[in-house]
Amino acid sequence: MNVLEAMSLALAELLRDDPRRVLLGEDVTTGGMLGWSRTCASNDALRTRLIALPLLPASMAAHAGGLALAGLRPIVLLPSAAALLEGLAGLREIGLVGVRSGGERTAPVLFVAPCGPGLGLGDDASFAPEVVLARTPGIRVFVVGRAGDAVRRLVEAAAFGEAEEPTVLLIPRLLLGSSVDADAAAPSTEVLAPTGRLRSGRTLVVFTWGEALGAVLEVCDDTELDATVIEVARLCPLDRDAIVEAARDTGRVAIVHAGGRAHGLGAEISALVAEHAIHYLDAPVLRVCGDDGPHAGADELRSLPARQRLAEALRELATP
């Protein structure tokens, strides 16, 4: 079973678990372009809770927000994270519901969208949507870093938490076809840490997320670096205390992410470390990113940090 199949089963289970949940999307009634709604579409009891909408992201966000205000729990399945930017006006309005109502109303809508390279889409793959989404008031943003966590992140995002804030879950395209075992595919109520320690070391700490996570773990293992690896799964709001604490622990900080270097969340984390942990640092903060775009389809993997460059940069940072 791969990530797409596991998420399809998990979405069906989410609908069974809560009758308020509905799926929205351009082609959800036929299974969807990626197959996310295939299990629901083939089930007579669940098919009535699939709502097909035109691929007009602003209208889609507004429609989902209206359903949420009416008491439902919409899950919007998008073909690309770029659609979230096309529908930014609607997304912004959903995020402001809590503030404008004085905290009396919420609009718990979950948007699920693929991002990054993996399907030969070129410049769409090199675009880092989390940069814009994280600046949208009232919106939580999560990104999956490991195939085995995809279902649990989906279930957790669909639960919304106490504030019931609108939530975006980004799924790297490189993970969609990855195999997962039965345990990882089964929906779970286990809450994953928004900022999780996946590897412990004493020499340096690497903050990373999304499609860059796998490369970081492999490079650290191959080079036998004594490194701590922190997955920043919740990109907005950042778990500021956990990030600062991890930076202070080692004194050497690397930030690794896909997409271009300028104006990204890597810069925000770097500024956070400089503001609150600079007296603990033994070296300047290192950032390793993908190449700036745009990229043609054949070159889309250039949006990821190159393994050799990453290994050399981490070795240099670890050397006193």
Cα 37–chain centre separation: 19
Alpha-carbon distance 289 to 99, whole Å?
Answer: 35
What pLDDT shows up at residue 67?
Answer: 94
Residue 123: its pLDDT value, please? 58
- What is the token pair recorded at 104? 């009396």
28: its two tokens: 């959800």
Q: What pLDDT was estimated at residue 310? A: 94
* Phi/psi of residue 231, nearest 5 degrees: -90, 120
pLDDT at residue 237, as a whole number: 93
Kind of pairing, strands 73-77 and 21-25?
parallel
The CATH number of domain 3-185, selected from 3.40.50.20, 3.40.50.970, 3.40.50.150, 3.40.50.1100: 3.40.50.970
> What is the pLDDT, as a whole number, of residue 120?
66
pLDDT at 116: 85
Domain residue spans in the chain? Answer: 3-185, 195-318
- The CA distance from 236 to 183, in Å, is 28
Q: Which fold has domain 195-318?
A: Rossmann fold (3.40.50)
Residue reference for tokens 């070296």: 283
Question: How far apart, in Å, do the first and last CA atoms of the chain sit?
Answer: 45
Other CB atoms within 10 A of residue 254 CB: 25
Per-residue CA distances from 163 to 24, 75, 96 (Å): 22, 17, 13
Strands 195-199 and 227-232: antiparallel
Tens digits of pLDDT across the chain (320 residues) = 899 999 999 999 999 999 999 999 988 999 888 888 999 999 999 999 999 987 777 788 888 999 999 999 999 999 888 888 888 888 999 988 888 888 788 899 999 999 888 776 655 666 778 888 999 999 999 999 999 999 999 999 999 877 789 999 999 999 998 988 877 667 666 778 888 999 999 999 999 999 999 999 999 999 889 999 999 999 999 999 999 999 999 999 999 999 888 888 999 999 999 999 999 999 999 999 887 766 666 667 777 888 999 999 999 999 87
- The pTM score is 0.93
Residue 136 to residue 253: CA distance in whole angstroms: 27
Distances (CA, A) of 130 to 67, 115, 283, 298: 25, 9, 28, 23
Same fold, 3-185 and 195-318: yes
Whole-angstrom Cα distance, residue 296 to residue 300?
Answer: 6
